[in-house]
Structures are given as C-alpha cells and as structure tokens.
Amino acid sequence: MIKNSKLKKLINVNHVVNLIFMVNLTLRTHPPVLFSYSPNHIEIIIRVENDSDNHYWTEADIIVPEKLSLSPDNTLKKGRVRIGIVEKKQYMEKSVKVYGNTYSNPQIYRCKVVGYYYNKDGVIDARVEKPIDIRCEIKKSNTM
C-alpha cells in the first residue's frame, strides 16, 4: 500500500494521461451548414476510437444551445446516445440530429459532446469532453 499522498497523486495522474491517449472522441457535421429561419436539421457524427487493449461500452451526452433542439418539434437541450461496445483497436460512429427552427439566427452555435468510456465492471474509465461549432447561415436564393 502506498503511504505517500504525493506519490499516489502522481500515479493517478499518469494513469489518466495514459488513458487519454488510448481513447479518442472526434466530431464532425453533415451537412456543414444549418440554414437559419427554417425548420431543418444537421447531423453531428460522433466517432469513438479505442486504441487500448480493453473493450469499452461507450455513451455520449449532447448539449445544444438555445434556438437549437434535439427534437424536431419540441425544445430538447440535452440528450444521451448509446454508441455501443468498442472492441480493442477499433472505432465506432453514431450520428445525432440537431434541429433548427424559425427562431434560429444566422450565427455560430457551440454544442458540447461528452463521451463516457465504461470498462467491463461498469465503471467510467474515461470521460472526454469536446465542443463543436455549428454554423447557421441564411439560405442563398437561386439566381441566374
């Protein structure tokens, strides 16, 4: 048993640093632009990667700002998506629709995705938080 508290903290920090490099969370959107002042949607594609030698059950929380929603006809600011079991040296992707409405102004909206990696005992081994910017623009008319 380790008696020195500084040594305990150092070991815990090293474990967390090593774990950060073994799991990864990347985000992208499709299409790249959400149109303002009209009901439409954009997909946030969440990619979880596992470079470690362990299996992980992964989930993600999605938090969207005001004037965007995770529901097409209601206001829903926070949701959770179950991504699944990511095997060793594998990756998995899941998409979440984010809806705009008639109140969505042309601006950049910052959303937040928090990924959770659960080990075989059901304990969170890693928590990765990443922001993603959603660009909202006025739809250009077709002119010829």
CA 33 from centre of chain: 18
End-to-end C-alpha distance for the chain, whole angstroms = 77
Asked if CATH classification 1.10.3330.10 holds for the domain at 5-137, the reply, yes or no, is no
Taking 50 as the pLDDT cut, the residues of the chain under it are 1-2, 7-20
Residue spans of the domains in the chain: they are 5-137
| Separation between Cα atoms, residue 92 and residue 102, nearest integer Å | 33
* Phi, psi angle pair for 29, to nearest 5°: -120, 155
pLDDT of residue 139: 86
pLDDT of residue 7: 43
pLDDT of residue 144: 58
pLDDT of residue 18: 44
pLDDT of residue 17: 45
